[in-house]
Amino acid sequence: MQKWIFFVLFILAGALGLGVLFQDISDRQEAQEAEAAASKLPQLKVAASNWQFDATDYKVKSGQPTKVSLSLKEGVHAIEIVGLGVKLDKDNPTKEVTFDKPGTYEIDCVLPCGEGHAKMKAKLVVE
């Protein structure tokens, strides 16, 4: 009698384990699909190093969802796109944004980073 109970418990545990395994696989597939969809978005990449950005001007298209990302090459920085409410830092380095208003906006480093901090600016042109 005990052998049958252990046998049934073993089968149930195996079935439960397979269910958890397949659920985990489904969750991973959904995450990969979401990541693939996000990677198809146009990207605005801003790289910050000590007292400068990797470009003085950046361009994006108006009305188009865009993945904005900040990468830190040297030092610790945080940026704000003035007038658009976009703020990125090391803890929140990416954000999906739709730039609705064409114009020129200033990108500022908003985290004091040293002697050249005041000059750490760039322009974003929304076309």
34 and 54 fall within a common domain: no
> What's the confidence (pLDDT) of residue 22?
59
| Residue listed under structure tokens 């597939």 | 29
Q: Which of 116, 60, 67 is nearest to 88 (CA)?
A: 67
49 and 29 fall within a common domain: no
85 and 102 fall within a common domain: yes
Residues 75, 117 contacting (CB under 8 angstroms): no
Q: How many structural domains is the chain composed of?
A: 2
Beta-bridge partner residues of 108: 80, 121
Contacts of 33 (CB under 8 A, 6+ apart): none
36 and 53 fall within a common domain: no
pTM for the full predicted model: 0.67
69 and 110 fall within a common domain: yes
**Confidence band of 10 (pLDDT split at 50, 70, 90):** confident
36 and 74 fall within a common domain: no
- DSSP assignment of 13-47 equals HHHHHHHHHHHHHHHHHHHHHHHHHHHTS-EEEEE
How do residues 112-122 score in pLDDT, each as one tens digit?
Answer: 888 888 889 99
65 and 87 fall within a common domain: yes
How far apart are the C-alpha atoms of 35 and 123, rounded to whole Å?
A: 28
Range of the domain at 27: 1-40
87 and 108 fall within a common domain: yes
Q: Which residue has the higher pLDDT, 20 or 115?
A: 115
